[in-house]
Structure 1
Amino acid sequence: MKKIAIVLGVIGVTMFSCFENKTEQMVDSAVEEIEVSQEEPSDIVEGVVKNSTVQWTGFKTSEKVAVSGTFDAVQVTDTKEGKTPEEVLQGAKVRVVVSSINSGLEDRDGKLKMIFFGAMENTSDIYGVINFKGGKTYITFTLNNVSKEYEVTSKFENNIFTINTTVDLVDFNANPAVEALNKACGDLHKGADGISKTWTEVEIQGQIEFTEDFGK
């Protein structure tokens, strides 16, 4: 059976808002810069998938102000031929290249790479595996050498397969990284109450757009 390799435009993980150019103390384990072009890999099964995107939303301040962003280099591999999204995506593997983080501000991206991801282990990439069991959709994320399976909501509508979930960085032993980022951002994460806060919860939405002829 021919395999599919799909390149996603973006996928979500936590991002937070550090807007000012400040001199910050960087951790020693900086994230390695890895370039993965939007064209890799090229072995896409024609007539199945047109486009895929994922967005994230992180939160700052006690009022839980939302901040959103993307990654620009994500690969999905080990997909299969099929007539339903479940058949195509069962067991699919997701690779997110951390150095491609894109929050819309270069200074903030640098802090996220060096301070947040740099405080964790083996974070050049974030991995995920998609599975369907008992009529439900699951994704197993691997971050900071920890793997955690989440049940996610999903739907297939207008030829677009959408998944939504909320992950908690506590599940990945990432509290020290969150605290380091919150300290680096300081006043930028303070709300009306004067408390600087970075939330560990992150909302993720992913969409995979199939072709008009898919399943026919």
Structure 2
Amino acid sequence: MKKTFLALALIGAFAVSCGQKETKTIEDVTITTEEQEAPKEVEKEVVKHKVVWTAFKTPAKVGVKGSFDEVSLTYAHPDAALVTDALNGATFEIKTTSVNSNDPGRDSKLSGYFFEKMTGDIHGTFHEFKDGKVVTSIFMNGIEKSKELTYELNGNIVVIKGSIDIIADFNAEPAFQSLHEICKDLHEGKSWTDVEFEVTIEK
């Protein structure tokens, strides 16, 4: 049976980004893909997904939104009626080379000056969804961090929100400084280490 999900903004979110200096509003990016259903013995699906992260630049803390094109999710309980039950123990993986902010120049900087300075891709695990909160293990730059995220459930759609600090949480100061230096003028001398993300998953 074909299933769809709108998944993981996470964290990539995990980078401040530089584009055109005159950009003063948040940029929205929605990436939708259609692929064949994975074999039944492999409960991994990448059918439809929406990936959104928001990083910040300039002293005014202007938000820049983007996504990752390659995000995979493996349900722990694919036959569960509720999406939150299906996700209890589910794992995800984000290919950082697929970063997409709808600006090729910015994406090149994010890939070459940020993610290439870090260790591996981003992956993690969702734990129990209860009372509007879900603890999520996030593995990034060789470091695993547990973050308590919030969520809202509406029918078969769950929206998960949270934030990370790429230095305090994942010790990514060398990568952060590398990107900050190349984007210093466009960022008016200020890059922010916190990144917000929203994950929408539909089962």
Q: Fold-level match, TM-score > 0.5?
A: yes
SS state at 2:174 partner: helix
Q: 1:76 aligns with which of 73, 76, 83?
A: 73
Q: What is the rounded CA distance, in whole Å, between the counterparts of 1:5 and 1:59 in structure 2?
A: 34
- The answer to whether the aligner puts 1:161 opposite 2:158 as a matched pair is yes
Could you say if the C-alpha distance between residues 15 and 121 of structure 1 is closer, same or farther in structure 2, counting changes exceeding 3 Å?
closer
**Aligned twin of 1:203:** 196
Q: What is the rounded CA distance, in whole Å, between the counterparts of 1:180 and 1:7 in structure 2?
A: 34
- Superposition RMSD in Å: 2.8
Q: What is the rounded CA distance, in whole Å, between the counterparts of 2:151 and 2:5 in structure 1?
A: 20
Identity, in percent, stands at 35
Could you say if the C-alpha distance between residues 74 and 153 of structure 1 is closer, same or farther in structure 2, counting changes exceeding 3 Å?
same
The runs of 5 or more residues in structure 1 that have no matched partner are 21-36, 191-195, 211-216
Once the two structures are superposed, the pairs formed by residues 1-216 of structure 1 within 5 Å of their partners are 11-12=9-10, 13-19=13-19, 39=35, 42-43=38-39, 51-80=48-77, 81-122=79-120, 125-132=121-128, 135=131, 136-170=133-167, 171-190=169-188, 196-210=189-203
Q: What is the rounded CA distance, in whole Å, between the counterparts of 1:75 and 1:66 in structure 2?
A: 26
Q: What TM-score do the two structures reach when normalised by structure 2?
A: 0.79
String of CA shifts for 1:160-181, please: whole Å, max 9, x gaps. Answer: 2000001111210011211110
Q: What is the rounded CA distance, in whole Å, between the counterparts of 1:76 and 1:208 in structure 2?
A: 10
The runs of 5 or more residues in structure 2 that have no matched partner are 21-32
Instruction: Name which of structure 1's ranges 155-164 and 8-17 shifts more when overlaid on structure 2.
Output: 8-17
**Deviation beyond 4 Å, 4+ runs, structure 1:** 4-10
Q: What TM-score do the two structures reach when normalised by structure 1?
A: 0.74
> Rg bigger for which structure?
1
SS state at 1:75 partner: strand
Could you say if the C-alpha distance between residues 66 and 104 of structure 1 is closer, same or farther in structure 2, counting changes exceeding 3 Å?
same
**Alpha-carbon contact 1:7-1:52 (below 8 Å) kept:** yes
**Alpha-carbon contact 1:11-1:56 (below 8 Å) kept:** yes
Q: What is the rounded CA distance, in whole Å, between the counterparts of 1:17 and 1:126 in structure 2?
A: 18
**Alpha-carbon contact 1:18-1:108 (below 8 Å) kept:** yes
Residues matched between the structures, number: 182
**Alpha-carbon contact 1:8-1:76 (below 8 Å) kept:** no
